[in-house]
Structures are given as structure tokens and as C-alpha cells.
């Protein structure tokens, strides 16, 4: 059914047009106040719009010179006021907030980094580095855009645009159905033509802003001041950061992107100059965007401390990931300040990460605890630091970009500081990234701190055992993480391995040389005596002091701890390999001298099997001193002799090279 006023209007057309417009003058007619044209009869909509066109045409033909004179025509003024109300009304009826469920479903490339943090809290414990978290959160939300298009039940018209942008992660949704957009555009077109662009922008901005505000609430974006955020506990903030990352993705890629598309669909190409669509978009989104960024900004300037590193990196990664989309959504000249602010925050987060790393180095260097850990086991600091740096290695992709300068080992920062260890990175032959050098540096200062702590042990043997345990743990952690191993490099790893071996040697020297000293030949032979050549009394003293020393070593070192089973086993074997042959040969040569005297059991208390078994008690960390048992009587010793030799050979073969070399150094 064609509208009766359709087609070119003559003079009569103009009169009808004025009549239609005056009929809808809401300052005059009650009915006009009650009803909205665009929510009623479509024919009336067409009639009204044509009437406005009619009047504009007539004005153009009378005064070609001044297009702005349109706003001086009373009828047109009435029409514009009416259209502004209609425009607002349509916008309002479609301004419901995008519901959070449909928004949050869409979390493409859900950052694997978010799961790292949960591990950090356990970093002081024995947490293994994360290696498989990668793709778990990668939910493909392909159905999202179709499923949530609001009201209109269409989607075809914008599909072409969507495919253009499919290279990015932007996923627009239809905030307003197509037929309503068409109405809005037809109104905007007429308002702009009559010089009412500013009114149009204001109405559009205020309604859409309130819609965004409601969506923000659904997304849980809070209005927190920087002061508020500085006061919150970090654990609370970690949760907020996690939520913010999700929300920011939705905001940039869906909410803001959809707003941009909506303003384009309504305003693009209208008006004399370009950019009215952009003005409308920014009017709507500028405030919310600044509000959104405010949180990340506040985090980026919070006080730096080591536990914050990984969440800050998550935030940095999320924002860096969003940055290309921010550049697309806010691509205009007028939106420059938003792009600039996002870039500033990104660089501040990077700066924060760098600052925290150096803060961490400083903290490792100066960690002040002086109370020795009982039994010489692994220090909590070592665990903490190693877990921390294996988490760092999980973030190496980001950190390799952020960390571009070498550690300041010899820099002005530490100059004159005696507590800073010397380390020449030039020594390393392989080329290392600055991040890798930082990791090596952290290990260097960790070692240096541990070295300091080891001096607090009264027993030097225990100090060496402590260093052995801790450096071994460092090596073990590096080998356990391929990323870390690759970064630290085999060259430095070899150095570390050498260090814990040396510590093991030093331990054995400090703990066992005096025990073995009892079994030496020198001083036993009495010169000039042909009968035996051995002083019985000296021999008895030797056996007595050996027994006493061995018992003492057994008692104390059963309480010491080597937590790594393999290391513990190797160390025991290495001890046995020196102790047992020496004892056996001593026993073999001098036993007869004792047995021929009185109370031989007072001097020869232990068979070498007893010693072998006793060595197995060592490093178990049993604080209650174990009584050294005599499992087998001395006179059964011979029966085991042969099998023992076989057993030793087998052991030698599997004990590996690590501690075998000790024997050589040990005997020299």
C-alpha cells in the first residue's frame, strides 16, 4: 500500500507536510505527547519523514545560498524537536545492557598465563613448574555472534564487515536490531541536514553511555580510585586482575567494537564532513574507556614487590594482546589520547615488571635470615627462588621482550657494596639473552647468600653439606625444566654441578678425614722390635678412638639430611668406598694383635658390615640419635667377606662418575 503523500510534492504537498508536522507538535497536542511516531504505524513514519523532506526541499529552493537557514523555519524546528525525541525513544527502547553471560562466554585465547599465578602462591612450597596449562582455556566461541544478536533475529547485513575484521579478535554483536538502526539513520540524516548534528550527538551519547554503564556493571567493572587500589590486599587484587582481564577483552573486542559499528551504521556518510560517526562513538565510549584503563593504570603504579610479578605480567600480556584491537577500535585522530593512554599503561606495566625483577634480585641478595636450617637441608629461600625463576621461565616470551639490559652486577647500583658477589658475564662463552643472564645472576646471588648462611653452622662439615644440598637442588630444578635449562645453558649448569660436587668433597674431607686417620699405618710400628713390630697399646688406642669418632659421626650425621634420594645414596656409597676398604684392611692386618690380648671386643666393636649398615643410617634426618647397632658378631665376618666384595663391585658400577672422583681427591 503506497503512502498517499508519496512522490514529488507540489505546493499542496508542502501544506500537507506542515499539517503532519504540526499534528505531532508535542507542545500543543496531548496525543502527540502520549505517543511516539516510530513505535506506531509504519505508514505514519513514512509520511512524517517525507513531510520533513518536503519542508527541507522547499527551504533549499527558496534560499540556496544558506543551508543553515533551515533551522530558522518554525515548522522544521518543531519537526527537529520531535525527531530528537523520537531518536531518543528508539535508542532507549534498545539500550538494555548486554548481559554478562553472553559477553563472558566469549573469551577467545583465554590467557594461559592466568593459571600461572595460582602456582606462584605455592612457590615457596614444592610446586612443580607449570608446563601444560597452555590450551586449556582456549574456548572457541564461534557460535557467540549468532546466538546473542539482540531482538532483530537477523545478522546478514553485517556479516561482510565481520569477515573483513576476522583477522583480529574483534567480535561485534548487534546492539540494536537492523530495522531500528534504519529508523535511527533516517532520523539522523534529517537532523544533520537541518544543522542539528550537535543535538543528535548529545542524545546518542547520553543514551548509549548509560547502556555501557549498565554493561560495565554486568561485567563487574568497578569504580575504584587509585587510592582504593593501593590499599587493597594483593590477593584481593589478584582476583580483580583476573576479572579485569576477562572484562577488558569483552569491552574492547565486543562492547566498544560493537558501539563503533553501531555509530557507523547510523551516522557513517551523513553530514558534510566525515567523522560524525566517530564523534558519536567517542562521545559514548571515551569516558568508559578511561574508566576501564584506570584499573590497569593503578596496578601498574602499585608498590613493587616480588609476589606481584606474574599477575602484572598477565596484565601486561593481556593488554599487549588487546593493543592491536585497541588501535583498530580507536583508530581516529580524536581517539588518539585513548591509544596513547593504553600505550603508556603498557609501558608502565613493562617498567613495573623490570622493577620487580630487580627488586627480587635485591631481595634475594639481602634475604637476612640467619638461623641455620636443621640438618643442612634445602633452605626455604632456595626453594622459593628456584620456583620463582622457573615461573619466570614460563613467561620467557614476554620477559625476553621486556628485559633488555644485562644485570647490574658491576653497575653503579651496587658499587662499593661488599655483599655483592663478583661475577663476570664475559666468562660465559655462549651467547645468552639478557633475561637468561638475569636468571644466572639470580642464581649467583642466591649462592652468595647461601654461602653467607652456611657460615652460621658451627660444624664445617654440615656447612659443606648444606651447600651441596642447596646447589644440587638448584641444578635439579634447572634440569627439571627444559625452558630453564635452555636459558641457563649447559655451560653454567656444568659450573653448578662442579660446585655441588666440590661441596660434597669438602664435606667428606671435613667429616671423615679424622676418622680415617685412626686407620693409618704410621706410628703403629715400633722400630727395633723384631717380634711383632706393632705397638699393642697404640693399636688399642687407635681402635678406641676410631670407635668413638665413628659413633659420634654416626650420631650427629644421622640427624643431618640429604633430601634427594639419589644424592643421599651416592654420598653414602662414596663414604663406604673409602671407609670400608680402609677398615677392612686395617682389621685384616692388625686384628690378630688385638684378638691375642684380653677383651678384644672392647677394641674391635664393629664388623665392616656393621659400618656399612651404619653408613646407611646417615642423612635421614632422624633427630633422635640412633644407637649404633652391632648386627653381626665379629666372628661371622668371614662368612660375608666374599659376597661383600662382589656387592662392592656391583655398586661401583652403578654409582656413576659423580662421586667416584671424590675418592681420588679424598686420598690425596
Partner 1 sequence: MWAGAENQGNFLGRISIRRNQVASMEPDTHVEDLDQFHKLISDKFSPLLTDYPHHHDHDGDATPSAAGDAFLSAAWVRKLLDAFVSCEAEFRAVLLNGRDLTQIVKPPLDRWIPDLFDRVVKALDVCNAVTHGVEAIRFMLHQAQIVASALEQRPFTEGQIRRARRALAAVLSSIVVDERDGGGKTTERSWSFGRRGGGASSKERHHAPNFRSLSWSVAKNWSAAKQIQAISSNLYTPRGGECSLAQSVYIMGMVLVFVMWAMVACIPCQDRAGLGTHVPVPKNLGWAQSINVLQEKIGEEWKKKEKKGSSGLMDEVVKVEKLAQSLTELTDNFHYPMEEDKEAEMAAKAAKLAEVCRRMEDGLGPLQRQVREVFNRLVKGRADVLEVFDHAIKHCNPSV
Q: Does residue 662 bind partner 1 (CB under 8 A)?
A: no
Closest C-alpha among 303, 406, 420, 437 to residue 364: 420
Return d(Cα 416, Cα 420) in angstroms, integer.
9
495, exposed or middle or buried, with CB in 10 Å at 0-12, 13-18, 19+?
middle
Return d(Cα 363, Cα 579) in angstroms, integer.
43
Q: Does residue 26 bind partner 1 (CB under 8 A)?
A: yes
User: Whose Cβ is closer to partner 1: residue 212's or residue 553's?
Assistant: 212
String of contacts with partner 1 for each residue 264-303, x by CB under 8 A: ----------------------xx--xx--x------x-x
Return d(Cα 91, Cα 112) in angstroms, integer.
39
Q: Does residue 202 bind partner 1 (CB under 8 A)?
A: yes
User: Whose Cβ is closer to partner 1: residue 202's or residue 626's?
Assistant: 202
CB 108 within 8 A of CB 314: no
Q: What is the dihedral of CA 68, 73, 84, 8, to 10 degrees?
A: -90
Q: Name the one range near partner 1 by CB under 8 A: 34-42, 149-157, 577-585, 609-617.
A: 34-42
User: Whose Cβ is closer to partner 1: residue 155's or residue 421's?
Assistant: 421
Return d(Cα 132, Cα 573) in angstroms, integer.
37
- Cell numbers linked to 211: 547502556
Q: How many C-beta atoms lie closer than 10 Å to residue 415's C-beta?
A: 9
Rounded to the nearest whole angstrom, what is the least distance from the CB of residue 85 to partner 1 in the complex?
A: 5
Q: In the chain, count H helices and then E strands.
A: 27, 0
Q: Name the one range near partner 1 by CB under 8 A: 45-53, 220-228, 235-243, 540-548.
A: 220-228
Rounded to the nearest whole angstrom, what is the least distance from the CB of residue 368 to partner 1 in the complex?
A: 5
**3-class DSSP assignment, residue 498:** helix
User: Whose Cβ is closer to partner 1: residue 28's or residue 625's?
Assistant: 28
Return d(Cα 249, Cα 319) in angstroms, integer.
9
User: Whose Cβ is closer to partner 1: residue 40's or residue 142's?
Assistant: 40
Rg (the chain; Cα; Å) = 41
CB 251 within 8 A of CB 285: no
String of contacts with partner 1 for each residue 405-444, x by CB under 8 A: --------x---x-x-------------------------
From residue 127, give the alpha-carbon distance in Å to each of 123, 159, 392: 6, 47, 14
Q: What are phi and psi of 163, to 5 degrees?
A: -70, -30
User: Whose Cβ is closer to partner 1: residue 331's or residue 344's?
Assistant: 344
Rounded to the nearest whole angstrom, what is the least distance from the CB of residue 565 to partner 1 in the complex?
A: 37
Q: Mark 506-532 as b/e (b = at least 16 C-beta within 10 Å).
A: bbbbbbbeebbebbeeeebeeeeeeee
Return d(Cα 505, Cα 522) in angstroms, integer.
24
Rounded to the nearest whole angstrom, what is the least distance from the CB of residue 521 to partner 1 in the complex?
A: 51
Sole binder of partner 1 in the list 214, 502, 534, 580 (CB under 8 A): 214
Sole binder of partner 1 in the list 6, 7, 19, 72 (CB under 8 A): 72
Return d(Cα 296, Cα 132) in angstroms, integer.
28
Footprint (CB under 8 A) of partner 1, residues 553-592: none
Which H or E element spans position 318? helix 309-329
Footprint (CB under 8 A) of partner 1, residues 299-328: 301, 303
DSSP state of 534: B
Sole binder of partner 1 in the list 11, 156, 273, 368 (CB under 8 A): 368
Q: Does residue 27 bind partner 1 (CB under 8 A)?
A: yes
Rounded to the nearest whole angstrom, what is the least distance from the CB of residue 41 to partner 1 in the complex?
A: 16
Sole binder of partner 1 in the list 69, 168, 433, 655 (CB under 8 A): 69
Rounded to the nearest whole angstrom, what is the least distance from the CB of residue 77 to partner 1 in the complex?
A: 3
> Contacts for 41-50 with beta carbons within 8 Å, 24 or more apart?
43/1, 43/3, 45/183, 46/3, 46/6, 47/3, 47/5, 47/20, 48/20, 48/21, 48/24, 49/186, 49/187, 49/190, 50/3, 50/5, 50/6, 50/9, 50/17
Q: What is the dihedral of CA 195, 198, 199, 203, to 10 degrees?
A: 140
Q: What are phi and psi of 525, to 5 degrees?
A: -80, 130
Footprint (CB under 8 A) of partner 1, residues 325-364: 337, 341, 344, 348, 351, 355, 359, 362
Q: Does residue 236 bind partner 1 (CB under 8 A)?
A: no
User: Whose Cβ is closer to partner 1: residue 73's or residue 186's?
Assistant: 73
Rounded to the nearest whole angstrom, what is the least distance from the CB of residue 81 to partner 1 in the complex?
A: 4
CB 469 within 8 A of CB 376: yes
User: Whose Cβ is closer to partner 1: residue 74's or residue 480's?
Assistant: 74
Sole binder of partner 1 in the list 19, 42, 154, 223 (CB under 8 A): 223
With CB under 8 A as the rule, give the number of residues binding partner 1.
68
Q: Does residue 403 bind partner 1 (CB under 8 A)?
A: no
User: Whose Cβ is closer to partner 1: residue 236's or residue 625's?
Assistant: 236
Q: Does residue 210 bind partner 1 (CB under 8 A)?
A: yes
Rounded to the nearest whole angstrom, what is the least distance from the CB of residue 586 to partner 1 in the complex?
A: 50
- Give strand pairing partners of 561: 620
User: Whose Cβ is closer to partner 1: residue 14's or residue 526's?
Assistant: 14
User: Whose Cβ is closer to partner 1: residue 95's or residue 535's?
Assistant: 95
Footprint (CB under 8 A) of partner 1, residues 85-144: 85, 88-89, 92-93, 95-96
Rounded to the nearest whole angstrom, what is the least distance from the CB of residue 362 to partner 1 in the complex?
A: 6
Rounded to the nearest whole angstrom, what is the least distance from the CB of residue 61 to partner 1 in the complex?
A: 19
Q: Does residue 35 bind partner 1 (CB under 8 A)?
A: yes
Q: Does residue 195 bind partner 1 (CB under 8 A)?
A: yes
Sole binder of partner 1 in the list 21, 36, 313, 579 (CB under 8 A): 36
Sole binder of partner 1 in the list 21, 51, 59, 80 (CB under 8 A): 80
Q: What is the dihedral of CA 276, 279, 284, 285, to 10 degrees?
A: 130
From residue 654, give the alpha-carbon distance in Å to each of 159, 399, 576, 615, 651: 68, 41, 14, 18, 5
Residue 533 φ/ψ region, left for φ over 0, alpha for ψ in the -120 to 50 degree band, beta for the rest: left
- Cell numbers linked to 9: 510534492
Sole binder of partner 1 in the list 19, 33, 154, 652 (CB under 8 A): 33
Which H or E element spans position 536? helix 536-559
Footprint (CB under 8 A) of partner 1, residues 456-485: none
Sole binder of partner 1 in the list 12, 156, 227, 426 (CB under 8 A): 227
Q: Does residue 233 bind partner 1 (CB under 8 A)?
A: no
Binding site for partner 1 (CB under 8 A): 26-27, 33-36, 68-69, 71-78, 80-82, 84-85, 88-89, 92-93, 95-96, 195, 198-199, 201-203, 205-207, 209-210, 213-214, 222-228, 230, 286-287, 290-291, 294, 301, 303, 337, 341, 344, 348, 351, 355, 359, 362, 366, 368, 413, 417, 419
Amino acid at each position: 500500500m503506497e503512502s498517499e503523500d508519496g512522490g514529488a510534492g507540489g505546493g499542496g504537498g508542502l501544506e500537507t507536510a506542515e499539517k503532519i508536522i504540526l499534528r505531532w507538535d508535542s507542545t500543543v497536542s496531548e496525543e502527540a505527547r502520549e505517543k511516539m511516531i516510530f513505535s506506531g504505524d509504519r505508514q505514519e513514519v513514512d509520511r512524517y519523514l517525507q513531510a520533513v523532506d518536503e519542508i527541507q526541499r522547499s527551504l533549499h529552493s527558496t534560499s540556496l545560498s544558506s543551508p543553515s537557514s533551515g533551522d530558522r523555519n518554525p515548522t522544521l524546528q518543531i519537526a527537529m524537536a520531535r525527531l530528537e525525541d523520537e531518536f531518543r525513544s528508539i535508542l532507549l527502547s534498545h539500550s538494555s545492557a548486554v548481559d554478562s553471560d553472553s559477553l563472558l562466554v566469549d573469551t577467545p585465547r583465554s590467557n594461559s598465563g592466568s593459571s600461572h599465578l595460582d602456582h606462584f602462591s605455592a612457590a615457596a612450597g614444592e610446586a612443580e613448574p607449570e608446563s601444560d596449562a597452555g590450551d586449556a582455556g582456549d574456548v572457541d566461541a564461534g557460535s557467540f555472534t549468532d546466538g546473542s544478536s539482540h531482538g532483530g533475529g537477523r545478522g546478514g547485513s553485517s556479516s561482510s564487515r565481520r569477515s573483513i575484521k576476522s583477522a583480529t579478535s574483534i567480535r561485534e554483536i548487534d546492539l540494536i536490531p537492523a530495522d531500528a538502526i534504519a529508523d535511527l539513520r533516517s532520523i539522523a540524516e534529517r537532523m544533520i541536514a537541518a544543522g542539528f548534528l550537535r543535538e543528535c550527538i548529545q542524545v546518542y551519547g547520553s543514551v548509549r553511555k548509560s547502556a555501557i554503564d549498565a554493561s560495565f556493571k554486568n561485567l563487574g567493572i568497578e569504580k575504584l580510585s587509585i587510592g582504593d587500589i593501593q590499599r587493597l590486599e594483593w590477593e584481593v587484587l589478584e582476583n580483580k586482575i583476573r576479572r579485569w582481564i576477562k572484562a577488558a577483552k569483552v569491552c574492547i573486542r565486543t562492547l566498544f567494537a560493537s558501539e563503533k559499528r553501531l555509530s557507523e551504521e547510523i551516522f557513517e556518510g551523513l553530514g558534510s564532513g566525515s567523522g560524525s560517526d566517530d564523534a558519536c562513538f567517542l562521545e559514548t565510549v571515551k569516558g568508559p574507556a578511561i574508566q576501564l584503563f584506570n584499573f590497569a593504570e593503578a596496578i601498574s603504579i602499585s608498590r613493587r614487590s616480588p609476589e606481584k610479578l606474574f599477575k602484572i605480567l598477565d596484565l601486561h600480556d593481556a593488554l599487549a594482546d588487546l593493543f592491536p584491537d585497541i588501535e583498530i577500535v580507536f583508530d581516529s585522530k580524536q581517539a588518539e589520547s585513548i591509544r596513547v593512554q593504553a600505550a603508556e599503561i603498557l609501558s608502565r606495566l613493562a617498567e613495573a615488571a623490570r622493577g620487580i625483577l630487580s627488586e627480587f634480585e635485591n631481595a634475594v641478595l639481602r634475604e637476612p635470615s640467619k638461623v641455620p636450617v636443621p640438618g643442612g637441608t634445602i633452605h626455604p629461600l632456595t626453594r622459593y627462588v628456584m620456583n620463582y625463576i622457573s615461573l619466570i621461565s614460563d613467561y620467557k616470551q614476554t620477559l625476553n621482550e621486556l628485559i633488555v639490559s644485562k644485570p647490574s652486577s658491576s653497575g653503579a647500583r651496587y658499587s662499593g657494596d661488599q655483599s655483592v658477589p663478583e661475577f663476570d658475564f664475559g666468562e660465559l662463552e655462549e651467547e645468552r639473552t639478557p633475561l637468561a643472564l638475569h636468571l644466572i645472576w639470580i642464581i649467583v646471588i642466591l649462592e652468595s647468600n647461601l654461602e653467607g648462611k652456611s657460615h652460621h653452622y658451627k660444624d664445617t662439615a654440615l656447612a659443606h653439606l648444606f651447600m651441596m644440598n642447596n646447589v644440587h637442588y638448584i641444578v635439579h630444578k634447572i634440569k627439571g625444566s627444559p625452558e630453564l635449562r635452555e636459558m641457563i645453558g649447559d655451560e653454567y649448569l656444568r659450573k653448578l654441578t662442579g660446585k655441588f660436587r666440590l661441596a660434597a668433597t669438602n664435606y667428606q674431607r671435613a667429616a671423615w678425614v679424622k676418622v680415617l686417620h685412626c686407620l693409618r699405618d704410621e706410628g703403629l710400628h715400633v722400630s727395633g722390635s723384631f717380634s711383632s713390630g706393632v705397638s699393642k697399646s697404640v693399636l688399642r688406642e687407635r681402635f678406641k678412638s676410631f670407635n668413638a669418632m665413628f659413633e659420634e659421626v654416626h650420631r650427629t650425621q644421622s640427624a643431618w639430611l640429604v633430601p634427594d634420594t639419589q644424592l643421599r645414596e651416592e654420598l653414602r656409597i662414596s663414604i663406604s668406598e673409602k671407609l670400608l676398604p680402609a677398615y677392612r684392611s686395617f682389621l685384616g692386618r692388625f686384628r690378630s694383635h688385638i684378638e691375642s690380648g684380653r677383651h678384644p671386643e672392647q677394641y674391635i666393636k664393629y664388623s665392616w658390615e656393621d659400618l656399612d649398615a651404619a653408613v646407611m643410617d646417615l642423612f635421614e634426618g632422624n633427630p633422635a640419635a640412633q644407637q649404633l647397632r652391632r648386627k653381626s658378631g665379629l666372628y661371622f665376618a668371614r662368612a660375608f667377606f666374599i659376597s661383600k666384595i662382589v656387592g662392592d663391585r656391583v655398586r661401583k658400577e652403578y654409582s656413576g662418575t659423580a662421586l667416584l672422583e671424590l675418592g681420588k681427591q679424598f686420598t690425596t
